[in-house]
Amino acid sequence: MCKFASFMKQLFTYPKADKLKSTKQIDALFQSGKSQAIFPVRAVYRVENSENPGVQVAVTVGKKHFKRAVLRNRVKRLLRECYRLEQHRLRGSEDRRLQVMLLYQSNEILEFEKLRLVICKLFDKLAQDMQQKSSEVGIENPENKA
């Protein structure tokens, strides 16, 4: 396998380490996290300095919108696949950990391509917000050192 193919294989994966499963972390995410939304997906996210940089993602679909588990599971599969393909938009910070919870908030299942566009726009908003926060931190640091 060539070097590029192995890089691409790593780029589009969703390993166990990238899954947000800890109840404590999820509770902390909802208590101190921020929110961005592009209908029908809302992202609650939190950025923290960490020894283990990267992105952790969880996906949820409410029973309120889809009573049948089959439909909820279908939407969750679609969301996870959209994340897997568009995760490169959130990567980039080597010293911070991003935790994201994606919530689907509609009664209708979007087509995959439309949902992927929504996720792209949402991840671009998150990345832009993260860059603004890091530039604000970068501005404050030189004042503290001087």
Q: Percent of the chain at pLDDT above 70?
A: 82
pTM of the model: 0.83
At 2, is the pLDDT very low, low, confident or very high (cuts 50, 70, 90)?
low
Q: Percent of the chain at pLDDT above 90?
A: 61
The full set of domains in the chain, from first to last, is 18-127 (3.30.230.10)
> Residues 73-100, buried b or exposed e (16+ Cβ, 10 A)?
eebbebbbebbebbbebbeebeebbbbb
Q: For residue 59, what pLDDT is reported?
A: 97
**CA gap 141, 143 in Å, rounded:** 5
Mean pLDDT of 61-78: 96
Q: For residue 142, what pLDDT is reported?
A: 41
Q: Is the Cβ–Cβ distance between 34 and 42 less than 8 Å?
A: no
Strands (E), 12-144: 34-38, 41-49, 54-61, 96-104
Residue 1 has pLDDT above 60, yes or no: no
- The residue whose two tokens read 């919108």 is 65
Mean pLDDT of 68-95: 90
Mean pLDDT of 111-120: 97
Q: For residue 111, what pLDDT is reported?
A: 97
Q: Is the Cβ–Cβ distance between 11 and 81 less than 8 Å?
A: no
Q: Is the Cβ–Cβ distance between 99 and 37 less than 8 Å?
A: no
Q: For residue 97, what pLDDT is reported?
A: 87
Q: For residue 17, what pLDDT is reported?
A: 83
At 34, is the pLDDT very low, low, confident or very high (cuts 50, 70, 90)?
very high
Name the residue with higher pLDDT: 142 or 8: 8
3-state class of 48 per DSSP? strand
Mean residue pLDDT across the chain? 86
